[in-house]
Amino acid sequence: MTTIRLTAAQAMMRWLSVQMNEDGERFIEGVWAIFGHGNVAGIGEALQGIGAALPTWRGQNEQTMAHAAIAFAKASKRRRAMAVTSSIGPGATNMVTAAALAHVNRLPLLIVPGDVFANRAPDPVLQQIEDFDDGVVSANDCFRPVSRYFDRISRPEHLLTALPRAMQTMTDPAKCGPVTLAFCQDVQAEAHDYPESFFAPKVWRIRRPEPDAGELAEVIAAIKAAERPVIVAGGGVVYSGAEADLLAFARKHNVPLCETQAGKGAVDWEEGLNLGSPGVTGGDAANRALAEADLVLGVGTRFQDFTTGSWTVFANPARKLVSINVTGYDAAKHGALPLVADAKVALAKIGAALGDRAWPDRDTEARAAWYAATDAVMAAPNTDGLPTDAQVIGAVQRQAGPETVVMCAAGTMPGALHTLWRASAGGYHMEYGFSCMGYEIAGAMGIKLARPSAEVICFVGDGSYMMANSELATAVMRKVPFTVVLTDNRGYGCINRLQMGTGGAEFNNLYSSANVEAQPEIDFVAHAAAMGAHAVKATGIADLEAKIVEARGRDIPSVIVLDTDPYPGTGAGGHWWDVAVPEVSDREDVRAARENYERQAALQRID
């Protein structure tokens, strides 16, 4: 057997550089790295040595560079991913939030944090967490509950099994999620004679699970018996590459559909059968259809509580739930008839069984009325007051083109965009599984890296911007252009409205109700410009539209700041969301909210 003598870190990077997807691209496109004493000597030397065969990019914060990697994977439909590496201690634990985000959203991410010394000679090394009762615990054990696969590399030969298992996890449509390989820092530098065959290029094919015959027959029978079926399309449609298949299925059988946050953009909004968004952040047309449906056909969705209005949207007492999903765990939720299969495969087999069966036309007035209502709330204001978030969305919508991708993650805009945005096919990117504040700017950079020809527009509130903005500097340095629409409502406007909606007094969300000695006057334009971005203040909706157009063609990020009104909601659509209201309170508003809560909760169907 021919061998190659390499350090463990060198072996890891060489192996990753030749793992390919079915399109002939590296699956791990490159490595985001912030070096410290736990990874600079071993992993740092290996990455410098391998060069362009596995590019290294420097981030500003471990969490946000991981967010960029996650957005890249999502925008690549899980066909490509990135790795992130950090030192031990705070560098590693900074990435735990990102790992959780990737886990919830079922997205591939390779996390390689440095770890303590396997030989324990310098214990306790700088930043080492010591467990008084467990000698093998390190800070990296925090990753266990938020990783789909976790391993600790404490011998060089561990790579021979750990790396293939990592790739198997990230390319398995059912298990896909973050992988953590905690890499002991002394082991990174240890040499080993690795088999030459270990470094042979390998193509990883993403399988398409076929359905079980019994499950398929039961699902087909249920669909055939339905009189008012409605499709709920989730992210699994996109990851399967089944967008065209879903559209063809819906058209052939005349079944209306709606799209979750992860599924939005699978079908162009102008398609007449596309009723828009369902649930808490849903539109009237979709929610009305789902309330009347006697069969809800979920395709690649996990039926999260926003999608289901905390399980009050599917109101027909006779309704049945069918769930097509590659993961049995998701397919069987809430008593659904499960069909564990790839979305593309399942739609083809169900469609073949239905033949030319088509359901009668539905009332189209609800869809038309919905878009008329949203036209009104998104229209440019005719007053001099601060614009609403809906009016900001309308401004961006009017200037959007077929290559525009809008993205967001937390605060007001995710719900407002799901409700109002009219997405072209592939034109929507939302991290709403974890709804992580601070994902936005790093995520926009990741999307643009994955889709260079797209016009990426990032919606971010002042609260999320303040949490994590430093990758704006990275995007400037790497000349990754995208447009940031920064809405400044002087605090956490979304949660302030939720607080008021549940009967609470305004408290600690907007700066005006927070315990501060002076109201802040944050110059977001100056801040973004200081990091090298092209930053401007829009004076109103018309000026915002003009500045969006002006941003096109720049080779660096553009930040457009606009003051907005924190109080209005979307003004259209929506549904109840289960947010528990106190049973006892001195506030009459809380007591009234509790009465409404109990009325709505009585409508929940949790079977």
Q: What is the DSSP string of 412-426?
A: HHHHHHHHH--PPTT
Could you tell me whether strands 3-7 and 191-195 are parallel, antiparallel, or unpaired per DSSP bridges? antiparallel
Domain shared by 103 and 8, yes or no = yes
Quick one: 383 exposed, middle or buried, by C-beta within 10 A (0-12, 13-18, 19+)?
A: exposed
Domain shared by 119 and 187, yes or no = yes
Query: In angstroms, rounded to a whole number, what is the distance separating the alpha carbons of residues 89 and 3?
Result: 34
- Total number of domains in the chain: 3
Domain shared by 20 and 82, yes or no = yes
373 in any annotated domain: no
Tokens 């309330």 label which residue?
291
Query: In angstroms, rounded to a whole number, what is the distance separating the alpha carbons of residues 289 and 313?
Result: 9
Query: In angstroms, rounded to a whole number, what is the distance separating the alpha carbons of residues 245 and 571?
Result: 34
- Per-residue DSSP letter, 89: T
Query: In angstroms, rounded to a whole number, what is the distance separating the alpha carbons of residues 411 and 417?
Result: 11
Domain shared by 54 and 197, yes or no = yes
Domain shared by 180 and 199, yes or no = yes
584 in any annotated domain: no
- Cα dist. 384→380, 391, 399, 546, 565 in Å? 11, 13, 22, 18, 12
Query: In angstroms, rounded to a whole number, what is the distance separating the alpha carbons of residues 333 and 364?
Result: 31
Tens-digit pLDDT profile for residues 293-341 = 999 999 999 999 999 999 999 999 999 999 999 999 999 999 999 999 9
Query: In angstroms, rounded to a whole number, what is the distance separating the alpha carbons of residues 66 and 57?
Result: 11
Take residue 458 and report the two structure tokens written for it: 């990032």
How far does the chain reach from its first CA to its final CA, in angstroms?
A: 58
Nearest to 56 by CA among 22, 29, 24: 29
Tell me, what amino acid is at 80? R
- Cα dist. 534→224, 260, 486, 582 in Å? 56, 33, 13, 46
Take residue 543 and report the two structure tokens written for it: 């000026």
Spans of the chain below 50 pLDDT: none
Query: In angstroms, rounded to a whole number, what is the distance separating the alpha carbons of residues 342 and 105?
Result: 17
Domain shared by 167 and 283, yes or no = no
Query: In angstroms, rounded to a whole number, what is the distance separating the alpha carbons of residues 133 and 211?
Result: 47
Domain shared by 498 and 557, yes or no = yes
- H/E stretch holding 400 reads none
Domain shared by 355 and 393, yes or no = no
Domain shared by 27 and 153, yes or no = yes
Domain shared by 493 and 405, yes or no = yes
Nearest to 296 by CA among 274, 280, 315: 315
Secondary structure of the chain: what % helix, strand, coil (to 5)? 40, 20, 40
Tokens 């009723």 label which residue?
275
- H/E stretch holding 33 reads strand 28-33
- H/E stretch holding 180 reads strand 178-184
Tell me which of 170, 203, 236 is where a domain ends: 203
593 in any annotated domain: no
Dihedral in degrees, nearest 10, Cα atoms 333, 244, 242, 83: -120
Domain shared by 228 and 196, yes or no = no
* Residue 305 half-sphere exposure toward CB, CA atoms < 13 A: 10
Under 8 Å between Cβ of 431 and 102:
no
Give the pTM.
0.97
Under 8 Å between Cβ of 548 and 473:
no
> Where residue 295 sits, what CATH number does that domain have?
3.40.50.1220
590 in any annotated domain: no
Take residue 438 and report the two structure tokens written for it: 């601070």
Give the pLDDT of residue 320.
96
Query: In angstroms, rounded to a whole number, what is the distance separating the alpha carbons of residues 273 and 144?
Result: 43
- Whether omega for the bond prior to residue 124 falls within 30 degrees of 0, making it cis, is yes
**384 Cβ contact partners less than 8 Å away, ≥ 6 residues apart:** none
Take residue 336 and report the two structure tokens written for it: 């659904």
Tokens 């038309």 label which residue?
368
Tell me which of 183, 203, 223 is where a domain ends: 203
Under 8 Å between Cβ of 557 and 476:
yes
Q: Print the domain residue range for 283.
A: 213-363
526 in any annotated domain: yes
User: How far from chain centre, in Å, is Cα 11?
Assistant: 32
Take residue 39 and report the two structure tokens written for it: 């990874």
90 in any annotated domain: yes
- Per-residue DSSP letter, 262: T
Tell me which of 363, 391, 420 is where a domain ends: 363
* Residue 183 half-sphere exposure toward CB, CA atoms < 13 A: 35
Tokens 């203040």 label which residue?
537
Tell me, what amino acid is at 337? L
Under 8 Å between Cβ of 445 and 471:
yes
Query: In angstroms, rounded to a whole number, what is the distance separating the alpha carbons of residues 344 and 502?
Result: 42
Query: In angstroms, rounded to a whole number, what is the distance separating the alpha carbons of residues 420 and 478?
Result: 33
Report phi then psi at 426, rounded to 5: 80, 10
187 in any annotated domain: yes
571 in any annotated domain: no
Report phi then psi at 537, rounded to 5: -105, 130
Tell me, what amino acid is at 100? A
Take residue 580 and report the two structure tokens written for it: 């528990």
What does the angle CA 280 – CA 258 – CA 79 come to, to the nearest 5 degrees?
105
> Where residue 521 sits, what CATH number does that domain have?
3.40.50.970
- H/E stretch holding 232 reads strand 229-233
Tokens 């599984």 label which residue?
433
Give the pLDDT of residue 364.
82
Domain shared by 352 and 405, yes or no = no
